Amino acid sequence: MRKPALMLAALIGLYGLQILPALAVRPDEMLTDPKLEARARSIGKQLRCLVCQNESIDDSDADLAHDLRLLVRQRLLAGDSDAQVKQYLVDRYGDYVLLKPPFNADTLVLWLGPAGFFLLAVGGAVLFYRGRRGTGAEAAPVLSEDEIKRAKALLETDGEGDKA
Amino acid sequence: MRRIAFLPVVLFVVLAGFFAYRLLLIQRGDSPSFIPSVMINKPAPDFTLPPVFAGTPGFSSTAFKGRVTLVNFFASWCIPCRSEHALLSSLKGKGFQLVGVDYKDQPEAVKAWLAREGNPYDVLVADENGQTGINFGVYGVPESYLIDKQGRIRFKQTGPFTPEAIEKDLLPKVAELNK
């Protein structure tokens, strides 16, 4: 009973290997301190490679990405905090170097835009349906006795007309 | 209430206008790969770089004081730099010193290249590991930074200079800084 389970585990393990992201971090870049290296990886994933623009510096094979990975490790070894390392690069390359844009005056539309559009849509829907209900009520005024009689007469003759 | 029926049309016109505007900008040379520099009006980073040619002076950021300087990051392996090269030679005596920074290059390669194409630089230094480039915010070559007499970056040309860029952007800025 244990063998098939083992086989399954091995297969799942192999499948996992196959879908691992192709990291561009080279072995010779890595720091010997695993804690610092882990921090360098987490920072590297948040920084944009400015040459390829849609990859993090950890995923990119570009030369500049390689230099920036080394720089991140240099700063960490020098005792910088994660935030200081990121700020170091923002000072030189701007907010664009961060894959997750910060919330500030320049990115107001970016962050609040979707919520704004949602509110616009909800507002539009409310106005639309309220408008419809309004016209519905206007279209059904109360009929007087006389009018009801006339309507019934019309409906009856209409029904007979259909049968004929 | 009926006015709301025009909302989709209005939205469409606004969006179409925005897209047309962006397309027009791209036609005028803007590109999504262009990243505006945050270094404009900030002091140029501190650096000291060794010369490419032994026996010639190196360059340190303290030498920005008192002179307008154009720092040109280039490399012998960079193809767009070649189109810019001839233009740089025509900039002698235009009111600034031209400092060439050979970015991540082999000294032999750049020496051979300049021997063939001519050397337009007043000072030529090497940034072998690209560290100074990163401090300037360089993300590709060529890139050029115009630095005022107080050592502040005042203008950046991303990518190679064109005759239009020199006439319309660089030279007026140089004249302003030399006042």
Please, what sign has the CA dihedral across residues B32, A111, B37, A61?
A: negative
Q: Is position B91 within any domain?
A: yes
* Total domains, chain B: 2
Would you call B140 and A91 a contact, using CB atoms and an 8 Å cutoff?
no
Q: Which domain holds residue B168?
A: 48-178
Is B29 or A33 the better-scoring residue by pLDDT? A33
Contacts of B1 in chain A (CB under 8 A): 127, 131, 134
Is A154 or B74 the better-scoring residue by pLDDT? B74
Same-domain pairing of B69 and B9: no
Residue B57: band (very low, low, confident or very high) from pLDDT cuts 50, 70, 90: very high
The residue whose two tokens read 């860029």 is B165
Find the DSSP H helices in A94-144.
Answer: 108-138
pLDDT of residue A113: 93
The fraction of chain B above a pLDDT of 90, given in percent, is 79
State residue B157 phi and psi, 5-degree precision.
-105, 115
The fraction of chain B above a pLDDT of 70, given in percent, is 99
Q: What is the pLDDT of residues A121-158, one digit of tens each?
A: 999 899 888 877 655 555 566 788 888 898 888 888 76
Helix (H, G, I), strand (E, B) or coil at A136: helix
Same-domain pairing of B113 and B28: no
Of the candidate CATH numbers 3.30.420.40, 3.50.50.60, 1.10.8.640, 3.65.10.10, the domain formed by A2-102 belongs to 1.10.8.640
Contacts of B135 in chain A (CB under 8 A): 92
Would you call B4 and A124 a contact, using CB atoms and an 8 Å cutoff?
yes
Q: Is position B40 within any domain?
A: no
Is A155 or B103 the better-scoring residue by pLDDT? B103
Is A21 or A87 the better-scoring residue by pLDDT? A87
pLDDT of residue A25: 85
Of A92, A128, A134, the CB nearest to B134: A92
What is the average per-residue pLDDT within A86-105?
A: 93
Same-domain pairing of B155 and B95: yes
What is the average per-residue pLDDT within A1-24?
A: 70
- B71: exposed, middle or buried (Cβ count in 10 Å: 0-12, 13-18, 19+): buried
Helix (H, G, I), strand (E, B) or coil at B3: helix
Of B129, B130, B139, the CB nearest to A93: B139
Same-domain pairing of B69 and B118: yes
Contacts of B139 in chain A (CB under 8 A): 50-51, 64, 93
The shortest C-alpha distance from A133 to chain B (Å) reads 12
The shortest C-alpha distance from B74 to chain A (Å) reads 14
Say yes or no to pLDDT of B90 above 60: yes
What is the average per-residue pLDDT within B33-53?
A: 92
Say yes or no to pLDDT of A164 above 50: no
Q: Is position B43 within any domain?
A: no
Same-domain pairing of B98 and B23: no
In chain A, where the domains are located: 2-102, 107-163
The shortest C-alpha distance from A51 to chain B (Å) reads 6
The shortest C-alpha distance from B167 to chain A (Å) reads 27
Among A57-61, A115-119, A140-144, B68-72, which stretch is predicted with the lowest mean pLDDT?
Answer: A140-144
Q: Is position B90 within any domain?
A: yes
Contacts of B38 in chain A (CB under 8 A): 90-94
Same-domain pairing of B98 and B145: yes
Q: Is position B144 within any domain?
A: yes
Would you call A68 and B140 a contact, using CB atoms and an 8 Å cutoff?
no
Is A138 or A29 the better-scoring residue by pLDDT? A29
Measured CA to CA, the distance from residue A7 to residue B176 in angstroms comes to 75
Nearest residue on chain A to B2, alpha-carbon basis: A131
Q: What is the pLDDT of residues A59-76, one digit of tens each?
A: 999 999 999 999 999 999
Same-domain pairing of B97 and B147: yes
The residue whose two tokens read 């920036």 is A68
pLDDT of residue A133: 64
Same-domain pairing of B27 and B71: no
Say yes or no to pLDDT of B29 above 80: no
DSSP annotation of B146 reads E
Measured CA to CA, the distance from residue A72 to residue A37 in angstroms comes to 10
Nearest residue on chain B to A134, alpha-carbon basis: B1
Would you call B137 and A134 a contact, using CB atoms and an 8 Å cutoff?
no
Same-domain pairing of B135 and B106: yes
Q: Does B134 touch chain A (CB under 8 A)?
A: yes
What is the average per-residue pLDDT within A16-33?
A: 75
Q: Is position B41 within any domain?
A: no
The shortest C-alpha distance from A19 to chain B (Å) reads 30
Contacts of B140 in chain A (CB under 8 A): 50-51, 64
